[in-house]
Amino acid sequence: MTTWITTCDTCKRDGWETGTMEQTDGEVLAALIEAAATGLTDVRTRRVSCLMGCKRACNVAIQGAGKLNYTLGAFDPDPEAAAGIVEYAAAHAASETGRVPFRDWPQAIKGHFVTRHPPLPDTE
């Protein structure tokens, strides 16, 4: 089943305004995640403007229908973070419930979890 990585492309980490970057930190991280996910059939990526986690930028959501969903934040926009996010998303996609055992978490995502959301109910 497909797992989506939703990346906030408006995230700006502290000090962004004093740098000379042409892209936001979120745009940089999104591009790295997209590149790391190239060729995967069970992981898809998308960008949104604002996940409302500004104090913990850079933010991503890991989501799959009928599964536990997660928000992660406080990433550096670098290849290691992107690779860890994509690796975790692939494990999420392979999991029936969305739960990935801690022992299987990539080091790059440990300490970055913000929230866990239960799946929406199938019925009212």
pLDDT digits (tens, 9 = 90+) for 41-62: 999 999 999 999 888 889 999 9
Q: Which domains does the chain have, with CATH numbers?
A: 3-117 (3.40.30)
Indicate the pTM of the whole model. Answer: 0.93
pLDDT digits (tens, 9 = 90+) for 7-41: 999 888 877 667 677 888 999 999 999 999 999 99
Contact between 13 and 25 (Cβ < 8 Å): yes
